[in-house]
Chain A
Amino acid sequence: MGRITLDKVRKTFGDVEVIPPLDLTIEDGEFVVFVGPSGCGKSTLLRLIAGLEDVTSGQIRIDRQDATDLPPAKRGLAMVFQSYALYPHMSVRKNIAFPMKMAGLPQDEQDRRIEAAAKALNLTDYLDRKPGQLSGGQRQRVAIGRAIVREPAAFLFDEPLSNLDAALRVGMRLEISELHKRLATTMIYVTHDQVEAMTMADKIVVLRAGHIEQVGSPLELYNRPRNVFVAGFIGSPKMNLISGAEAEKHGAVTIGIRPEHLGISTESGLWKGVIGVSEHLGSDTFFHVTVEGLGEPLTVRASGEVSLKYGDIVWLTPNEVNLHRFNAEGLRIA
């Protein structure tokens, strides 16, 4: 019902190749997240799937049917835009009804679906308001409501939460995840928020300059990044990447160690360093430790409150098992 296959899909704007030929399969009911740095082509890829941009070459199949040349409306996909793209002159009810009105659904069916969507999204009290009279989170929910009522084969989200404040974002994140569990419809979600990607996805697609760097479950990507780029991109705070003599000792060009896999002690250890800035989050404390000969300061995570302060001398010991090793091409050494 919502299996999407991209087959050598390529996109150029003029002379610029934004997406080099790319293959990707999204299974029915999957929650797929596209992540990557700004300008890497996430939105473009999503718009190609939606049909808002024409592919330069290649094929897009939705449920085994060739959808490459289908207009957006015929693809059975619903999109939630970053700016919400609500129709400002229509009430919430009319906004949600719009796709059904275009599809010519009978009025009582429309009403039934609007009621259901409004109830699911806590919008019942706002149905007669205009979008201008709603808060950001409510507008977001209206946009989602407008997508739900179409009962699409898949939902496409382009950074839907980036205009919301942090607290609201956490709430909406949960709501979207819950929606996915309840509807079990394919969802493709674009974000550059680490946490959103890790918490929501069944499958993460990491993009760089239009290339797929790695596809996998959040933990797969976290535990076994395929290359240095993914290693540095996934995880927050970032993985510590060390190259030079220390890496050569481990038979690699670059080694990576996550902040939680570094032991910190005031007495003994492998690397001697000086504490710089520390970030106290309550549950965790992150120390930025400068170690002689390792270049960039290392980030170290300590559980709870640790009474170390600026300028203290500490010893760091990496957990050998969790060391990531990469070769000269930046690829993982097994």
Chain B
Amino acid sequence: MATKHARVAARFMISPAVLLLLGWMIVPLSMTLYFSFLRYNLLMPGMEEFTGLTNYRFFLTDPAFFAALTNTILLVGGVLLVTVVGGILLALLLDQPFFGQGIVRILVIAPFFVMPTVSALVWKNMFMNPVNGLFAHAAKALGLQPFDFLSAAPLTSIIGIVSWQWLPFATLILLTALQSLDQEQLEAAEMDGAPWIKRFWFIMLPHLARAITVVILIQTIFLLSVFAEILVTTNGGPGTASTNLTYLIYMQSLLQFDVGGGSAGGVVAIILANIVAIFLMRMIGKNLDA
């Protein structure tokens, strides 16, 4: 945007889109805010009344809230770790020339096109089921006791399922970034006496920094609201072992019919998400400027 004129024109042109987005956000946000201050239970219609901060007090003092908060952090962090590390490794692998490269790349991307509900069901019934699952069969074939993933390690299992879905995304972005690395830089480093591992550490990884930032930012936004995978596999259980914030809000408003409490939870989630967003932007956003 070189000239003042161009800047003004640009603002003018994007204003309809911005206004639309703003409206789209403001209306549900204000309604949620409004509901969060009401005593509003679906089982007692017409009894709504203003209750101040009661909903918030109940939500924040509920022991399930802290469990859900921890689970959310573990889920987001775990999936990010698996997808970023795994994505880098897969990208490095796919960047090598090998036979059938095109097809393998498409196969790697495939999980991304599977709906979360479907993939979670497939994992639950075909892989992790302690009686019929593939893992159970494998364990039995090896003479081991089948492991009941979803009840013994529910959160870890969900992290696995969600990672499986997001790994292709990370791989794809990181692979493109890797391919944009100037080969002469790598050759220069090779001549400078850097073995592969140092070339990776000093040349490739810094080059990937920006792509990794993008992966983390985008995934965090989506991972904070993981829901379908939990609903179809563990229902947040056992107890609250795999309940995240999104799922807790769902339970509050639609299983306990407490719309007011659910809305308060929603507002808390929005605030937390924004804290995370600001934190992320500050911490790694500078990577995007460079």
- Measured CB to CB, the residues of A under 8 A from B are 50-52, 71-73, 77-79, 81-83, 85-89, 98-99, 102-103, 146, 150
A73 touches B192 (CB 8 A): yes
A78 touches B206 (CB 8 A): no
- State in angstroms the CA–CA spacing of A102 and B198 once bound together: 8
- Please give the number of chain B residues whose Cβ is less than 8 angstroms from any Cβ of chain A in the complex: 19
- State in angstroms the CA–CA spacing of A14 and B198 once bound together: 31
- State in angstroms the CA–CA spacing of A72 and B186 once bound together: 12
Contact of B185 among A50, A71, A87 (CB under 8 A): A87
User: Least Cβ distance of B239 to chain A in Å?
Assistant: 47
- State in angstroms the CA–CA spacing of A77 and B193 once bound together: 10
Q: Is B49 an interface residue (CB 8 A)?
A: no
Q: Is B188 an interface residue (CB 8 A)?
A: yes
Provide the residues of chain A in CB contact with B190, threshold 8 Å.
52, 71-73
24 interchain pairs (CB within 8 A)?
A50-B191, A52-B187, A52-B190, A52-B191, A72-B187, A72-B191, A73-B193, A73-B194, A73-B195, A78-B191, A79-B191, A81-B184, A85-B182, A85-B185, A85-B187, A87-B206, A98-B192, A98-B202, A99-B192, A99-B193, A102-B193, A103-B193, A146-B188, A150-B192
Closest to A130 in B: B290
B194 touches A102 (CB 8 A): yes
Q: Kindly list 9 other residue pairs between chains A and B, CB separation below 8 angstroms, not including A87-B206, A99-B193.
A: A73-B192, A77-B191, A79-B188, A81-B187, A83-B182, A89-B209, A98-B189, A98-B202, A102-B194
A85 touches B188 (CB 8 A): yes
- State in angstroms the CA–CA spacing of A181 and B11 once bound together: 59
Provide the residues of chain B in CB contact with A51, threshold 8 Å.
191
Q: Is B207 an interface residue (CB 8 A)?
A: yes
Provide the residues of chain A in CB contact with B188, threshold 8 Å.
79, 81, 85, 87, 146
User: Least Cβ distance of B197 to chain A in Å?
Assistant: 11
- Measured CB to CB, the residues of B under 8 A from A are 182, 184-185, 187-195, 198, 202-203, 206-207, 209, 290
B184 touches A146 (CB 8 A): no
- State in angstroms the CA–CA spacing of A236 and B182 once bound together: 35
B191 touches A89 (CB 8 A): no
- State in angstroms the CA–CA spacing of A166 and B63 once bound together: 74
- State in angstroms the CA–CA spacing of A245 and B171 once bound together: 70
- State in angstroms the CA–CA spacing of A98 and B188 once bound together: 10
Q: Given A79-B188, A81-B187, A83-B182, do A89 and B207 touch, yes or no (CB 8 Å)? A: yes
Closest to A79 in B: B191
User: Least Cβ distance of A54 to chain B in Å?
Assistant: 13
- State in angstroms the CA–CA spacing of A82 and B207 once bound together: 20
**10 closest Cβ pairs, A-B complex:** A99-B192, A73-B193, A85-B188, A85-B184, A102-B193, A89-B206, A81-B184, A72-B191, A102-B194, A85-B185
- State in angstroms the CA–CA spacing of A85 and B194 once bound together: 14
Provide the residues of chain B in CB contact with A72, threshold 8 Å.
187, 190-191
Closest to A99 in B: B192
Provide the residues of chain B in CB contact with A52, threshold 8 Å.
187, 190-191
Provide the residues of chain A in CB contact with B203, threshold 8 Å.
87
Closest to A51 in B: B191
Closest to A75 in B: B191
- State in angstroms the CA–CA spacing of A72 and B196 once bound together: 12
Closest to A80 in B: B188
Provide the residues of chain B in CB contact with A98, threshold 8 Å.
189, 192, 194, 202
User: Least Cβ distance of B194 to chain A in Å?
Assistant: 5
A87 touches B194 (CB 8 A): no
User: Least Cβ distance of B80 to chain A in Å?
Assistant: 22
Provide the residues of chain B in CB contact with A83, threshold 8 Å.
182, 184
User: Least Cβ distance of A231 to chain B in Å?
Assistant: 35
- State in angstroms the CA–CA spacing of A79 and B184 once bound together: 10
Chain A CB within 10 Å — which of B190, B191, B198, B203 has the most? B191
User: Least Cβ distance of B13 to chain A in Å?
Assistant: 31
Provide the residues of chain B in CB contact with A89, threshold 8 Å.
206-207, 209, 290
User: Least Cβ distance of B195 to chain A in Å?
Assistant: 8
Closest to B192 in A: A99
Closest to A89 in B: B206
Provide the residues of chain A in CB contact with B206, threshold 8 Å.
87, 89
Chain A CB within 10 Å — which of B188, B194, B290 has the most? B188
- State in angstroms the CA–CA spacing of A130 and B187 once bound together: 20
User: Least Cβ distance of B218 to chain A in Å?
Assistant: 22
Provide the residues of chain A in CB contact with B209, threshold 8 Å.
89
Closest to A50 in B: B191
User: Least Cβ distance of B29 to chain A in Å?
Assistant: 40
Provide the residues of chain A in CB contact with B202, threshold 8 Å.
87, 98
- State in angstroms the CA–CA spacing of A78 and B207 once bound together: 23
User: Least Cβ distance of A25 to chain B in Å?
Assistant: 22
B207 touches A102 (CB 8 A): no
- State in angstroms the CA–CA spacing of A207 and B203 once bound together: 34
Closest to B206 in A: A89
User: Least Cβ distance of A218 to chain B in Å?
Assistant: 28
User: Least Cβ distance of A45 to chain B in Å?
Assistant: 15
Closest to B194 in A: A102
Closest to B207 in A: A89
Provide the residues of chain A in CB contact with B195, threshold 8 Å.
73
User: Least Cβ distance of B36 to chain A in Å?
Assistant: 46
B191 touches A73 (CB 8 A): yes
Closest to B199 in A: A102
- State in angstroms the CA–CA spacing of A198 and B264 once bound together: 81
User: Least Cβ distance of B201 to chain A in Å?
Assistant: 11
Closest to A81 in B: B184
Provide the residues of chain A in CB contact with B184, threshold 8 Å.
81-83, 85
User: Least Cβ distance of A321 to chain B in Å?
Assistant: 48
- State in angstroms the CA–CA spacing of A77 and B188 once bound together: 11
- State in angstroms the CA–CA spacing of A10 and B206 once bound together: 37
